[in-house]
Chains A and B, each alone.
Chain A
Amino acid sequence: MNVRLFFLSALVLVPAALRAQDLPALWAERTKCIVAVEYVTETETDRQPSISMGTVIDANGTIILPSGAIDPRAATWQLKEFKVYLPGDATGSPAQYLGQDAFTGWHFVRADEKIRSQLTPVTAFALKGPPPVPALAEFVWGLGLRPKDEDFAPYLMESHVVLIQSLPQRTAIAQQEVAGPGLPVFNQSGALIGLGASAFGQTYLQFGSRGRGPQQVTLINVEESMAFTLAGEMLPYLGRIPKNVSGRPLAWLGAYGLEPMDRDVAKFLKLEAQSGAVVSEVLEGSPAEKAGLKDRDIILALDGKPLPQLKPDRVVVDYIEREIERRAPGDTLALTVLRGGERVELKPLLGEEPKLLREAERKYFDRLGFTAREFVYGDAVERRAKTSEATGVIAHFVKPSSPAAIAGLRPEDWIKEIDGVEVKTFADAVAKLGEIDRDQARAEFVLLVSRGGETAVLRAKLK
C-alpha cells in the first residue's frame, strides 16, 4: 500500500467538518496499544517464523492475537521464541505464550516486564458504560502495522461504516480497509469501537496477458480488513485469559457435523422466524450421546432460546459452537430438537473436550523418517473408528526421501502393526520404533497402515 497516496485520497473524500482536528494526536497516542508478535513454529526438519498483529488489553502486558495467528494443528510446545515488537521498533523483546481461548478464538501473549511501561492497554480508550455501536455512515478509523522490514511502522486507516451484521458476533463492515486484523478501530473522538476482524474474500476478475480470461478470483487482504467486531463483542471477554497454555477447561457436547438449513427448509419444517441445524452424527461416549441426542436430530433451541435466522446460513453453526464454548464443563446446555416431527427436550451436561490433536504426544524417529503421534479421539472420529477399540498411532510427519517415505508411508496414515505386532498404545509404538531406530544392524521394518478404510503392508528398507 502506498501510504501517501492513501492519505491524499482520504482528504478529498472526507468532508473537513467530519475530521477531528486532533486525529494525528489521537492516532499517536493509540499506537501504544498495538504490537507485532513474532514466533517460530519448530517442526521435525525446519523452523517457520510467523508474524501477527496484536492489541494490548491490560496493564500486565497481555496481548490478544486473532484466532488465525497460529496454526491449530501445531502443538503448543512447537511454538517457540515469542517476541513482541513495538510499532516502529525493530528490536523485539521476549514474550510468553499463554494459550488460546476457545470462545473468542483469541491467542494470548504476555509481553516482557521491561517494555510494559511503553504499552497502553486498549481499554484506556474505551468509554465508560455500554460499548458504543457505530451508526451507519459513521466515520471510523483504525491502525495498521507495516511489515518487519519497515520496522512495523504504524499507520492510519479511515473509513465509514456501511453495514452491521451478526456473524454471529456483531460485526461492522466499512467502506474500505479500516484496521489490521486484530488491531483496534476507533470513532471520531478516539473511543474504542471495535477490533479488526479477519478480512473477507473479495471477488475480482483476472485478465491474462494474452487476452485470456476474465477469470474469477477471490482475494483476501491479510494485512488490512474492512470488517471489525464491535467493542461489545470484545470488552466483556478480555478477562478470558487461559489458565494454562492448553486453553482448558474446554466444554464439549459431541454433536458432530452441524449443518445449517436455508429458509426454504425451515419453512417446510414449519419453523417460522427461526432456524435449525442438523446433527449429522452423535459422537461415541459424548455428553450428547449420554443425554439421548440422536443422529439427524435437528437442533431448534438452546436453553429454550430458538436458533436465530442469521445470514449466511452457515453462521448458525458458529452460533451454536460459541454457545458451547462460552460455557464450562459441568454446565448444562438444554437442547430442543426436532426428531421425526416431534419436539424433544434434552438436558446434556457438557463434558471436558477429549485430548486434542495439538495435545497429542509425538515422537520423531530421524533414521526411520517419520513422527509417530498418539491416536486421539479426533483421529477416531475422522476415521470412523470406534474410540473404545482404537489402537495404533498416526504418522504425523513423513520426511521426504526417508526410508518411511520410500516405503510409501504418508502423513495421517494410521499405523496398526509394527513388524507384524499389533500396536496397542503410543508408548508401545515408541518403544518398538525406538528399538528399530537404534538397531544399526536392522535392514528393514514392516508396517501395517490403514488409509481411507483400506490397509496396506509397507516395507521400509534401512539399508
Chain B
Amino acid sequence: MKPATVKPFPARSISALVLVFLLAAAGLPARAAMSRGFNQLLDAVVRIDVRELAFEAGARRYSASIGSGVILSADGLVLTNAHVASNRAVELNITLASLERVGAKLVGWDHWTDLALLRIDMDEVKRRNLKFTHADFGDSDKLYPGQTVYAVGTPYGLSRTITRGIISNNNQYLKDLQGVNGYETGLFNTWLQTDAAINPGNSGGPLVTEDGKVVGISTRGYSGANNLGFAIPASTAQRIVAGLVRDGVITRSYIGIVPKELQDLETFYSLAANTGMLIDSVDSGSPAAKAGLRGTDILLALNGAKVDGRFPEQLPAIQNLIASQPVGASLTLTIKRNNETRDFTVVTEKLESRVGEEWALEKWGLSVRKVSRTFARERQLDDETGVLVIGVQPGYPADVAGLSRGDVITKINQQPVNSLEVIKAAQAAYEAKPAPTLFEVQNNRRVSLYILKP
C-alpha cells in the first residue's frame, strides 16, 4: 500500500466531486446534541470564498478557493486556516449562517500554525443590518481520547455541514507536513486527531464539543486514509488570535537547532530517563552554530529549566518555548556532549520563513521570490543577495534567454540584486528603453550569464 500523505484541504475542485446517493435509511443519531450552545455555534460558522493572487509562471494569476471559518467576536473576527486565507488573498467573502454574503479583510496570518484571522466588514454589516453570533473557545487541554466532537464547516462548498466523531488522539505529532503553500508549518504545535469526517473545504472550520465550544480548527486530513483528520488545538489558536489582534503578525525567536526525540537513546548517552532532548542538526550560520552547538549534543536545560524530549510529541512544546523568547534574548543552553556538561549562551534572532516576498516581472515573463536568510543558509549561498526564479512564461524574454525555475538571479547589468526593488527598477528601465540586459544567475553553484533581449 502506498503511504498516505497528509494534505491541507483547499477545496479547489468542487466540480470534481461525485455525489453518491446512499439509499439506506439512516437512523437518527442516538443523541442529537442540540444544546443552546451548540445552536449558537452553528450560527457562527461561515463559508469563506477566497480569491488569491499568485506569481506563477511569470505572470500574475488569480485563483479561487473555498474554506470554512468561525466567528469569534461580536466585532467580526473570523478564525480560519492560513492555507485558506493568506497574504496572497486579494478578495475575501464571508457567507454567514443567514446565507448573507459580506466582505472581509485579513487581520494577519501565521503559516507556522496554519491559522489566519479575518475581520468582517462591520460597516457593511451595520448598513445591511446583518446578524451573526459568535463562538467561544473551550479548553482543548481537557480533551480526552474517546470524547465526542463535531466538525462543522462547508466541505466542497456545501452549505453548513456537521460531521461527528471522537477525539482519536489529543496530542498527536505530525512530522514532515507539506507546507502551507510552500511556507513551513507544524513545528510549534501538536494536533488533535479525530475521526469526524473532514473533507476538502472543511479547512478552517471549528471542531467543537457537545456544548458548542471550539476546541480546535479543522486543518488537515490524510488523503487515501479513512477518518484521520487533524485540527489545531484551541490552546494554540487562542494564543495566535491574541497575537494577531495585537500585532498583526506572530514574531518568534530562532536559534537554529533541529530537535529529535531521545527515545531509547538514554542509555547510550548515559542519561536518566525523561531527561534531555537530542539535537539532530544545527543550521549552518545560525545562532546555535555560532555558539558552537552541533549535532549529537543533548539539550538538558533551557535557562535553567529542565527539558524533556523523550518522545516526538514533546518536541513542539520545546520548540515553542524557544520561539516564545524575545528576539535578541540571551538563552542559556545546558548541553551534554560526550561526558561533559556545560552551558552555552545563544542569542536568538527573529525566525524567518524560507519563502521570501514574491513578484511577477510580466514584461520578462519571470516570477521571482526574494532569497531569504533561511533559504540562503539551506542552499549554502554566500549571502542573501538575489532572487529565486519561481516560474517563467514560455516564449517570453526570460525563457528565451534560458532562465529556468530554481535559478537565483544575483546580478542584473553587473548590479547586485539585493532586493526586489532592484529587479523591479531594472524591468522599468527595460520597459522605458528596451535594450539587451545582462543577467548573472546561479544554480546549484554554477554561475551563468544570460541576455534578455527585447
Contact = CB atoms under 8 A, between A and B. Distances in A.
Contacts of B284: 453
A278 to B, nearest CB: 5
Interface string B283-314: 11000000000111000000000000000000
B436 A268 contact: yes
Nearest to A456: B280
A325 B269 CA distance: 51
Contacts of A457: 260, 265, 278, 280, 295-296
A459 B451 contact: no
Nearest to A450: B295
Contacts of A279: 447
A417 B282 CA distance: 15
Interface in A261-276: 261-262, 264-265, 267-269
Given A453-B284, A457-B280, A420 B446 contact: no
B268 A444 contact: yes
B295 A455 contact: yes
A417 B295 CA distance: 10
Interface in A405-459: 416-417, 420-421, 444, 446, 448, 450, 453-457, 459
Contacts of B338: 420-421
Interface residues of B, number: 34
Contacts of A446: 265, 268, 296
A280 B447 contact: yes
A296 interface: yes
A456 B451 contact: no
Contacts of A280: 442, 445-447
Which of B264, B442, B449, B450 gathers the greatest number of chain A CB atoms within 10 Å? B449
Contact of B296 (A264, A298, A448): A448
Nearest to B449: A265
A384 B414 CA distance: 25
A269 B450 CA distance: 11
Interface in B5-55: none
A454 B447 contact: no
A264 B451 contact: yes
B295 A448 contact: yes
A112 interface: no
A168 interface: no
B282 A455 contact: yes
B330 interface: no
A278 B449 contact: yes
Contacts, number: 85
Contacts of B449: 259, 261, 265, 269, 278, 298
Contacts of A233: none
Interface in B93-137: none
Contacts of A265: 438, 449-451
B296 A420 contact: yes
Interface residues of A, number: 33
B440 to A, nearest CB: 7
A259 B282 contact: no
A257 B295 contact: no
Given A268-B438, A296-B440, A455-B295, A259 B265 contact: no
Which of B258, B264, B295 neighbours the largest number of chain A CB atoms within 10 Å of its CB?
B295
Nearest to A382: B445
A44 interface: no
B52 to A, nearest CB: 31
B331 to A, nearest CB: 21
A345 interface: no
A281 interface: yes
B380 interface: yes
Interface in B319-378: 338, 377-378
Interface in B389-442: 401-402, 414, 436, 438, 440, 442
B447 A278 contact: yes
B453 interface: yes
Contacts of A417: 295-296
Given A268-B436, A296-B440, A456 B295 contact: yes
B451 A296 contact: no
B281 interface: yes
A445 B338 CA distance: 14
A459 B440 contact: no
Nearest to A257: B446
Given A257-B446, A265-B438, A384-B380, A455 B451 contact: no
B448 interface: yes
Nearest to B378: A453
A409 B438 CA distance: 43
Contacts of B450: 262, 264-265
Give the one of B284, B380, B445 with max A CB within 10 A.
B445
Interface of B: 258, 260, 264-265, 268-269, 278, 280-284, 294-296, 338, 377-378, 380, 401-402, 414, 436, 438, 440, 442, 445-451, 453
Closest CB pairs A-B (n = 6): A455-B295, A264-B451, A455-B281, A280-B447, A454-B281, A257-B446
Interface of A: 256-257, 259, 261-262, 264-265, 267-269, 278-281, 295-296, 298, 340, 384, 416-417, 420-421, 444, 446, 448, 450, 453-457, 459
Given A261-B449, A278-B449, A455-B294, 7 more contacts: A259-B446, A262-B402, A281-B447, A295-B447, A455-B296, A457-B280, A459-B264
27 contacts: A256-B445, A257-B446, A257-B447, A259-B447, A261-B449, A262-B450, A264-B436, A264-B451, A267-B451, A268-B436, A268-B438, A268-B451, A281-B445, A384-B380, A417-B295, A417-B296, A448-B295, A448-B296, A453-B377, A454-B281, A455-B281, A456-B280, A456-B281, A457-B278, A457-B280, A457-B295, A457-B296
